[in-house]
Chain A
Amino acid sequence: MTTSERPASAAADPTVAEPRSWSPGIAASALVGVIAMGLAVGIAELLAAVGGWIGVFHSPASPVSSLGQTFIQFTPEWLKEFAIRTFGQYDKTALTAGMGITLFVVALVIGIVGRRSPRIAVAITVALILVTAAAVLGRTGSTIVDIVPILLGGAAGVFFLVTAFRRRFAPVIPGADAAGPTGSSTEPVGASTAADSPATTSAAADPENPRAARSGAGHPMRGTPGSGAVGRRRFFRIAGIGALIAAGAGAIAKWIPSGADVAASRAGISLPTPADVQQVTVTSLSVDGITPFVTTNTDFYRVDTAFVVPRLTTDSWELRIHGLVDTEITLSFSDLLAMPSVERMITLTCVSNEVGGDLAGNARWQGVRIADLLRRAGPQAGADCVLSTSIDGFTVTTPLEALTDDRDAILAYAMNGEPLPIEHGFPVRMVVPGLYGYVSATKWVVDLKVTRFADETAYWSSRGWSPRAPIKTASRIDVPKSFAQIPEGTVAVAGMAWAQHRGITGVQVQIDDGQWQDATLSGQVSTDTWRQWSYPWAATEPGPHTIRCRATDGTGTVQTDQVQAVMPDGSSGWDSRSVTVTA
């Protein structure tokens, strides 16, 4: 045993260990970083879930959800396109995973940095906490109280980091059995104090110090829990506890159900009888392959920007009507249900629907007329717009006149006789006949601000889409399908036509360069719904043919054949299909 460099005091007693340090290796440190992150996130999510359930926090309080939403907002186009290209329908999942991986890597870095410089690791963690807090505050509907979960969770993570990386080693106590088995359980606080003192830190804590490293060579205390073993054991104990807490918090947060809670809330609704029910006596056309007149909830198209489908229970829902009004109104869900309601069949359309596309649906909606609510609030002179906001921060500007004129613009809480499905806006959404969804159909709506167009921009209108967007007259061919090979004979040509709030009075069909022929129409519940149409084509000439259709709206105006792309205010042009008649 080489002892030439051992200090004289220790040379006398070969059973006392030199101050021997143990610090976690890189992998263990990285693990600590991950556990710290898991702890912070787990506790924050748990607090957000519990608080949300109670009603103290709002949806943005969930740091994962807020980070995700913000991440999506700031994701560059090329990355989104990469996600769509590579992952297709799982693009959302991929971006979520990407975000998770980024956080995981940051956690690893924090851990590895913390091994040598706990202060820097803590600084990085604090920075991350602040970024997350900013993300939470940046979402509409959040209040200052919503950053409590991430602050507390973050504090837990930081505490864990500091505790795990605190330098552990036993002080040199000549002659004392400080390093013996019984000594191991008493080392914590005392040793840490010693560890923090600069002299011992620099002299003995540094594992790179060859003197310290070599001092234990061949020492007979191998199997005994020496100071090094204690440090290691304690480290892993701390890490283990941290991991358990993180896992537990995360598990509870996951099960604290926002999901189950919302489903229960939805199941517990007893819809009032509408005071005013529209009679629906439409003769639907029966043609193979035609779109059904009423779209079921499961088949209804869905277009929105929700990163996570907002979970809002009726208990936590509240609508605030404010802005340029004489009286501010705040409604709870029971307030809304207590008001007289109407039931109307209304066809909705997305502005991004291409010619012939399927982003249109027709359903029965029950709710309260927005005009009645606004009358109570009393919009002031000069107001021309209502800025509505979803629980997740999505905004919509709607012309005030469309919400106060005689059309049935409603705050809807039921769709086809049942409470709104969660992805279609539960518990309350706007439905405004005659306007594309992006300027009228706010889902999960919680705020209506009466204002002026000049003072506001909404989500899509700040991205190049027109602020005012009445639905253009449209018609589409459902059958026959593109490039169909059809045997000679009578062929049912059929489809849909709509011009909400003007209504459809006629649809015409043209084969090749022939005369425009009138199609048979289905009923129309009101000018706010679409109509089906069909035309029996005598397909006697074999070969390729082109079928076109065009509609005439309630004002007598024929649908334009001018081709326009969906941006900025909806597509236009006559739909057409090329088919082949076989001999």
Chain B
Amino acid sequence: MSQRLTLHGTESRSRPPKEQQMLMKRALLLVAGGALALTLAACGSTSTTATSSTSAAAGASSAMTSSGMPSGAKSSPAMTSGAMSSGAVSGGAAPAALVGPGCAAYAAQVPSGSGSVGGMAKDPVATAASNNPLLTTLTKAVSGQVNPGVNLVNTLNNGDFTVFAPVDSAFAKVDAATMTTLTTDSALLSKILTYHVVPGQLSPSQVAGTHTTAEGGTLTVTGSGDNLKVNNANVICGGVQTKNATVYLIDAVLTPPAG
């Protein structure tokens, strides 16, 4: 007679249904008991931690921080040992999955540190961009290093935004003459940069559609899933969280509408 491997052990004969039922019941009770035991035991000392992250719109954080601005307290305990930075994704933006065909490559290129997907989460957006090796030109542009008359770092670091961030290769596509003009034409550079910012944080599930930018004009995000376009630019990797903004890396510099 062949052996039958059952939940209850190896038996060489079949068991009567009644006995089987009883054993099943017991087994189920035990599963429940075991799971309950483990859960309760573990919950015993950690229940208060949970409450700290349920207070109003909370945030991802490395060191824990909560802000005292009128929007209410957000807090969470510190995590990383490297950088003590504040991390409240204000506005209650839920952490969303990344979208875009280039996320894997980005993660491979910047696997850790302040410029990685996880590292950016703890810094406000301009600071986070300054740590990202894909955004060196954008960082220069917003911090007065392309045009001393245009410095948006503090403006970008405070408030909630969605930022469409052209990567370095996107800026490389802009012709040299225009780049030279931008070094002195503050109004134009400012217009272009502010056209890439939308007030309020939009997750990948919210970003499709037409939005009014900080510049005043509108842009339109089309597509779905991993294939999003912002006007004519493609989203390489989007939904990257920073402390105050959701970032979408794009492969072209957007042109604000004329007028």
Contact = CB atoms under 8 A, between A and B. Distances in A.
Contacts of B69: 291, 299, 358
A91 B63 contact: no
Interface stretch (A23-31, A323-331, A499-507, A518-526): A23-31
Given A35-B37, A222-B13, A308 B65 contact: no
Contacts, number: 366
A411 to B, nearest CB: 23
A353 B86 contact: yes
Interface in A156-175: none
Given A295-B68, A302-B75, A544-B190, A100 B45 contact: no
Interface string A533-566: 0000000000110100000000000000001011
Contacts of A126: none
Given A308-B46, A359-B67, 8 more contacts: A35-B33, A41-B37, A85-B95, A91-B60, A217-B12, A236-B23, A300-B66, A358-B69
Contacts of B59: 88-89
Contact of B37 (A39, A89, A305): A39
Given A93-B50, A93-B53, A240-B33, A352 B85 contact: yes
B223 interface: no
Interface residues of B, number: 103
Contacts of B178: none
A384 interface: no
B155 A482 contact: yes
A306 B194 CA distance: 39
A354 interface: yes
Contacts of B62: 80, 84
A247 B38 CA distance: 7
A511 to B, nearest CB: 14
Interface string A229-240: 100100010011
Interface string B13-33: 100100100010011011101
Contacts of A258: 45, 48
A85 B62 CA distance: 10
Contacts of B78: 303-306
B42 A483 contact: no
Interface of A: 22-25, 27-28, 31, 34-35, 37-39, 41-42, 45, 48-49, 62, 64-65, 68, 72-73, 75, 77-78, 80-93, 95-96, 100, 103-104, 107, 207, 213-219, 222-223, 228-229, 232, 236, 239-240, 243-244, 246-247, 249-251, 253-254, 258-259, 289, 291-292, 295, 298-309, 311, 350-361, 422-423, 438, 460, 463-465, 476, 481-483, 485, 543-544, 546, 563, 565-567, 573, 575-578, 580
Contacts of A544: 187, 190-191, 194
B45 A243 contact: no
B249 interface: no
Contacts of A300: 66, 68, 73
B64 interface: yes
A476 B158 CA distance: 10
B27 A232 contact: no
Contact of A22 (B11, B26, B50): B11
A291 B47 CA distance: 33
Contacts of A460: 84
Interface in B91-119: 93-95, 111-113, 116-119
13 contacts: A77-B113, A84-B61, A85-B95, A87-B60, A90-B95, A92-B76, A103-B38, A239-B30, A250-B44, A295-B68, A305-B79, A482-B155, A546-B151
A83 B61 CA distance: 10
Interface stretch (B120-128, B169-177, B225-233, B251-259): B120-128
Contact of B68 (A107, A301, A354): A301
B53 A85 contact: no
A31 B31 contact: yes
Given A23-B10, A35-B30, A483-B214, A41 B121 contact: no
Contacts of A218: 1, 13
A41 B40 CA distance: 9
Contacts of B3: 207, 213
A578 B194 contact: yes
A78 B216 contact: no
A96 B46 contact: yes
Given A78-B111, A88-B59, A357-B124, A250 B77 contact: no
Nearest to A306: B77
B54 to A, nearest CB: 9
Nearest to B79: A80
A464 B63 CA distance: 14
B157 A25 contact: no
Interface in B182-230: 187, 190-191, 194, 197, 199, 214, 216
Contacts of A92: 49, 53, 76-77, 79
